[in-house]
Amino acid sequence: MKLSTTTAQNSFKYGWLLSRIWPYIKPYWFRITLGFLVAIPLGLLDGVTAFALKPYMDYVIGGKNLEFTLFNHNFVIYSMQMAKLLPIAVVLFAGFQGLLRYLNGYLSTWTSQRITNDVKFDLFHRLIHMHPQFFDENSSGIIISRYMGDPQTASAGIVDQIKTITTSVFGALGLIAVMLFSSWKLAIIGVIVLCVAFVPVALIRKRIKEASNKNMVIGGNITTNINETYSGNKVMAAYELQDRQEKYFREQTWDSFKINMSLYKRSGWMSPIMYLIASVGIATVLGVGTYLINSGEMTAGSFASFVTSLLLLYKPVKTLGNTLTGIQNLFVALGRVFELFDLKPEIVDSPNAVELNGFYNSINFNHVDFEYIEEHPVLKDFNLSVSKNEALAIVGNSGGGKSTLVNLLPRFYDVKSGSITIDGIDIRKFTLKSLRKNISMVFQDNFLYSGTVKENIMMGNPYASDEELKQAIKSAHLEETIEELPNGIDTMLGERGLTLSGGQRQRVAIARAMLRNAPIVILDEATSALDNESEAIVQKAMDNLMRNRTVFIIAHRLSTIKNANRIAVINEGELVELGTHEELMNIQDGHYKALYEMQFKKQEVLQ
């Protein structure tokens, strides 16, 4: 399945998405609620600031005393006392607000990161069990943005939105309360103006979404470009592809620039317009306010509180407007995340799968048809029987289907029709794990992970003893190579094992396969030429690996072919010839003979 870079089908089923994310939120409900509770006073505190202006204006500047009755006692706060109390209150208040803000920030960061982690853990678990074709079809850029970027946006977004919405809603409510308390008439005018000012926000939400989708596509392409620049750096240097890569990068970055600018052109007028509408509102309030103060309906202090509240109200309301877009992005990301959750690996254990514990007689390919892309057959009616402990060399033209054939055995791909059997049992009846445990593979490209040499070899069998490890290294003829490395077997290899030579990498891969000690061995001989000395040593290592095992070896070298019991010649996905070297050489105008004349004879002369 090819992943899309933009929206997923389910991005608009809000209820469904929330029910899917709920299990991830649930474990942290207590802390989230606590954060929610802290956000309420935090929001309300804005109102207090505005409210404090009233006593300051009326009692301190106005020189009045505050008299009030509490529990049947009369209290008086004199103007001068108020003048001293208020500054202290301001500082205490700021301290309290700071404390709440820290607590709230801590709780929301903690919970959002924990939820993100949990989602990422589960997604990565699914990713590593996807079938190879999934990786064939999706570029690394898309995988990175969809498996790492989206969970961040989705999970962190939920908690952040809860936090922002609570603080803003309660902030707005607190300020509106102060406004109503100061003058309900003015408050109605203020609220109406604010509502009108936010109409443009609703109008341009769709445009923002379109642009952010386009940006995501470009982001994925840029990541792929950087990955390819990295992995292909030698090819780039050799073929002077720097200009090409740079051109792509510049084009993609400019595309992103254009999208952002066009977005701004279409939405940038919104903010100034909002300010304009708001200023009309404030002008109206000032006019009406002056009238109310003059007519004695309102004190100057109340008016100051009111205007401050109105100005402060702009922020939470604007934040709420922005969260609308934020929430939309959140649901898009959630939709994309849960689309990944619902991807099923195509190669899985069948129900009632049994364990494969070694084998006794033979491995058979029965009328196997296979294709990667529909209507483009790669293997056609392929029949072959390999008996236990036989070494079968597979030769043929490039692109004929040799690697494909051996990739079917560990079920990297499943046959389209026909079957592959081990001792007469279809390999689809075995558990994947046990099937693959019985196969040691050395690939054409010999991928090594970043880590030490030892780690890379031990991947063959993590439980191997030191003695077994030593033996594997010896059989792979790696002893000398390892001795020469700066830290011996604990030397760190670069990403993809790049600090080793081709032949050395191949032998590390052979040692890894050796340690696995599986009855079936698949060797996809590297096509890259090695010098004679390395070739001889790799050959010895391979001979050791092949001893007493059932071997499928895709051979490009005459020496390997001659070591095999039989040779299978594959041409255009069909088994065209099968037999020993001598038998095949006797076929007049045969494929093998032609290959021999073309490729192998030269090697024989060289040896």
Ligand X SMILES: Nc1ncnc2c1ncn2[C@@H]1O[C@H](COP(=O)(O)OP(=O)(O)OP(=O)(O)O)[C@@H](O)[C@H]1O
Q: Near Mg ion by CB under 5 A, which window of 6-14, 260-268, 403-411, 455-463?
A: 403-411
Residue 165, SS3 per DSSP: helix
CA-based radius of gyration for the chain: 36
Taking the complex as a whole, the smallest distance from the CB of residue 569 to Mg ion amounts, in Å, to 15
* Binding partner selected for residue 254 from Mg ion, ligand X, none, CB under the kind-specific 5 to 8 Å limit: none
Taking the complex as a whole, the smallest distance from the CB of residue 331 to ligand X amounts, in Å, to 34
- For Mg ion, the closer of residues 81 and 403 by Cβ is 403
Q: Near Mg ion by CB under 5 A, which window of 68-76, 312-320, 388-396, 401-409?
A: 401-409
Q: Does 403 bind Mg ion (CB under 5 A)?
A: yes
Binding residues for ligand X restricted to 296-335, rule: CB under 6 A: none
* Binding partner selected for residue 87 from ligand X, Mg ion, none, CB under the kind-specific 5 to 8 Å limit: none
Binding residues for ligand X restricted to 551-580, rule: CB under 6 A: none
Taking the complex as a whole, the smallest distance from the CB of residue 134 to ligand X amounts, in Å, to 11
Query: What are phi and psi for residue 135, nearest 5 degrees?
Result: -75, -30
Taking the complex as a whole, the smallest distance from the CB of residue 402 to Mg ion amounts, in Å, to 5
The residue from 151, 190, 281, 401 that contacts ligand X (CB under 6 A) is: 401
- For ligand X, the closer of residues 148 and 530 by Cβ is 530
Taking the complex as a whole, the smallest distance from the CB of residue 318 to ligand X amounts, in Å, to 51
H or E element, residue 482: helix 479-484
Residue 362, SS3 per DSSP: strand
The residue from 8, 307, 330, 378 that contacts ligand X (CB under 6 A) is: 378
- For ligand X, the closer of residues 56 and 382 by Cβ is 382
The residue from 402, 505, 557, 591 that contacts ligand X (CB under 6 A) is: 402
Q: What is the DSSP letter of 363?
A: E
- For ligand X, the closer of residues 301 and 401 by Cβ is 401
The residue from 23, 287, 399, 494 that contacts ligand X (CB under 6 A) is: 399
Q: Does 403 bind ligand X (CB under 6 A)?
A: yes
Q: How far apart are CA 557 and CA 536, in angstroms?
A: 11
Taking the complex as a whole, the smallest distance from the CB of residue 578 to Mg ion amounts, in Å, to 19
Q: How far apart are CA 334 and CA 18, in angstroms?
A: 9
- For Mg ion, the closer of residues 254 and 447 by Cβ is 447
* Binding partner selected for residue 305 from Mg ion, ligand X, none, CB under the kind-specific 5 to 8 Å limit: none
Q: How far apart are CA 98 and CA 500, in angstroms?
A: 56
Smallest CA-to-CA distance from 394 within 594, 588, 557 is with 557
Q: In DSSP terms, which residues pair with 396 in a beta bridge?
A: 570
* Binding partner selected for residue 398 from Mg ion, ligand X, none, CB under the kind-specific 5 to 8 Å limit: ligand X
* Residue ranges in 198-241 assigned as alpha helix (H): 199-231, 233-238
Binding residues for ligand X restricted to 404-463, rule: CB under 6 A: 404
Count other Cβ atoms within 10 Å, centred on residue 367.
12
Q: Does 397 bind Mg ion (CB under 5 A)?
A: no
Q: Return the structure tokens found at 73.
A: 């006692």
Q: How far apart are CA 110 and CA 107, in angstroms?
A: 5
Interior/surface letters 490-524, b for 16+ CB within 10 angstroms, e for the rest: eeebeebbebbeebbbbbbbbbbbbbbbbbbbbbb
Q: How far apart are CA 498 and CA 492, in angstroms?
A: 11
Single-letter code of the amino acid located at 288: V
Give just the sign of the alpha carbon dihedral 408, 412, 418, 424.
positive
Taking the complex as a whole, the smallest distance from the CB of residue 323 to ligand X amounts, in Å, to 44
CB 45 within 8 A of CB 174: yes
CB 285 within 8 A of CB 190: yes
Binding residues for ligand X restricted to 130-189, rule: CB under 6 A: 136
Binding residues for ligand X restricted to 78-137, rule: CB under 6 A: 136
Taking the complex as a whole, the smallest distance from the CB of residue 439 to Mg ion amounts, in Å, to 17
Query: What are phi and psi for residue 69, nearest 5 degrees?
Result: -115, 130
* Binding partner selected for residue 219 from ligand X, Mg ion, none, CB under the kind-specific 5 to 8 Å limit: none
* Binding partner selected for residue 62 from Mg ion, ligand X, none, CB under the kind-specific 5 to 8 Å limit: none
The residue from 398, 465, 548, 588 that contacts ligand X (CB under 6 A) is: 398
CB 395 within 8 A of CB 311: no
Query: What are phi and psi for residue 418, nearest 5 degrees?
Result: 80, -165
* Binding partner selected for residue 227 from Mg ion, ligand X, none, CB under the kind-specific 5 to 8 Å limit: none
* Binding partner selected for residue 401 from ligand X, Mg ion, none, CB under the kind-specific 5 to 8 Å limit: ligand X
- For Mg ion, the closer of residues 54 and 505 by Cβ is 505
Q: How far apart are CA 563 and CA 543, in angstroms?
A: 8
* Binding partner selected for residue 400 from Mg ion, ligand X, none, CB under the kind-specific 5 to 8 Å limit: ligand X
The residue from 14, 16, 269, 372 that contacts ligand X (CB under 6 A) is: 372
Query: Where in 508-549 does DSSP place strands (E)?
Result: 520-524
* Residue ranges in 342-449 assigned as alpha helix (H): 402-408, 432-437
Q: What is the DSSP letter of 5?
A: S
Count, residues near ligand X per rule CB under 6 A: 12
Q: Near ligand X by CB under 6 A, which window of 12-20, 190-198, 391-399, 575-583?
A: 391-399
> Which residues does 299 contact at the CB level (< 8 Å), separation at least 6?
54, 57, 58, 62, 293
Count, residues near Mg ion per rule CB under 5 A: 1
Taking the complex as a whole, the smallest distance from the CB of residue 581 to ligand X amounts, in Å, to 19
Binding site for Mg ion (CB under 5 A): 403
- Contact footprint for ligand X (CB under 6 A): 136, 372-373, 378, 396, 398-404
